[in-house]
Amino acid sequence: MLARALRALMVWLTSLPFARRVITESPIGRGVARRFVAGDTLDDAVKVAGDLNDRGLGAMLDLLGENVTNEEQAERAAAGYAAALRRIEATGLADANISIKLTQLGLDISEELCLTNCERVLRAANGTLVMIDMESSDYTERTIAMYEKLRAGHDNIGICLQAALHRTPTDVRRIAGPGVPIRLAKGAYLEPPDIAIAHPREVARAFARLGATILALGATLHVATHDPGLIAGARRNVLARGIPRERYEFQMLYGIRRDLQESLRSQGSPVRVYIPYGSEWYPYLTRRLVERPANVWFFLSNLFRR
Ligand code: FDA
């Protein structure tokens, strides 16, 4: 209860224009962001992806940005993703794909614009996997509907589902099937109790159940969490059931639990790191700060040390 109230307070505080200005314009804010974001440019992201590939880890590039308010911004984001896909191919990265956000490609403006931009990204993909991030619950139904339209014409597209949402078991049955890539994450947005499970332990239980169902329905499971208990459980499950490596992977965020990424890889599990890059890092950073109070203290102590 208290944790939720604190999180709500943090979400409100970080939404204030003043907080945004202080964090984005201060060297400390930018310094903290660098822990979670590869850099401002595609070059920065490709460099990180190459280093990860050299260490036997996969990469997933995420051009930061969301909730764009005009067509030009949405088209610029599509062009940015197309450029990332072309660069993945031209650089010959051993194992890299991308993840997109629909509100960055114009979903708030119109579904047609978003669809056109997604098609443009998929044309540039040339078979490389394009994953769709899941945003707050205001967008869940529209995101899944857009995914279904795109999936009808492209095999190389997948989607993230959030274990915390009450609707997700139904969505899993709606989407999961052989060859469908599903990223399962706990859910990064603060949602009301009628929409999402509130208690962290219950979210973890839902995650474990949903992961097992996704595999049982023949889909490809991307286990997107840093939670050691869930990772160990998923690993036990895939090994016990003899699920081939092509049907699952573990995914973590750039800058978080690098030790766990390495230890999983050294045990022979496929691991991929999600690499955010670009100048629009503020909303992403606030999600990372808010989901873990220790990050807020880390940020504040840096601020006061100055
Ligand atoms: P939990 O929060 O319980 O953390 C477990 C441990 O991980 C912590 O004890 C800590 O060690 C470490 N940790 C977790 N978060 C940290 C942080 N911010 N800073 C430092 N350490 C941290 N969500 C969403 O709504 N839509 C999406 O599309 C995606 N996509 C996505 C892709 C990938 C690859 C990952 C790993 C995650 C997402 N998420 C997401 C985010 C996800 O929903 C969730 O918010 C975070 O992963 C944090 O939850 P954990 O499952 O890691 O567990």
pLDDT at 108 over 80: yes
- The answer to whether residues 223 and 250 touch, using CB atoms and an 8 Å cutoff, is yes
Q: Does 30 have pLDDT greater than 90? A: no
Ligand 1: which atom is nearest the Cα of residue 101? 28
pLDDT band at 302 (very low <50, low <70, confident <90, very high): low
pLDDT of residue 59: 98
Q: How far is the CA of 99 from the centre of ligand 1 (A)?
A: 16
- Residues 138-167: tens digit of each pLDDT: 999 999 999 999 999 999 999 999 999 999
Instruction: Please report which helix (H) or strand (E) contains residue 74, including its range.
Output: helix 71-91
Ligand 1 atom closest to the Cα of residue 160 is 28
Q: Does pLDDT of 304 surpass 70?
A: no
Residue 177 to residues 96, 98, 158, 159, 242, Cα–Cα distance (Å): 23, 21, 11, 13, 18
Summary mean pLDDT of the chain: 94
pLDDT the model gives residue 107: 98
pLDDT for 122: 98
Ligand 1 geometric centre to CA of 226 (Å): 6
290-297 long-range Cβ contacts below 8 angstroms, 24+ apart: 290/7, 290/10, 290/11, 290/14, 290/190, 291/7, 291/188, 293/3, 293/6, 295/32, 296/10
> Which residue's alpha carbon is nearest to atom 43 within ligand 1?
187
More confidently predicted of 22 and 60:
60
CA dist 119 and 78 (Å) reads 9
Q: What is the pLDDT of residue 189?
A: 95
Q: What is the pLDDT of residues 124-142, one digit of tens each?
A: 999 999 999 999 999 999 9
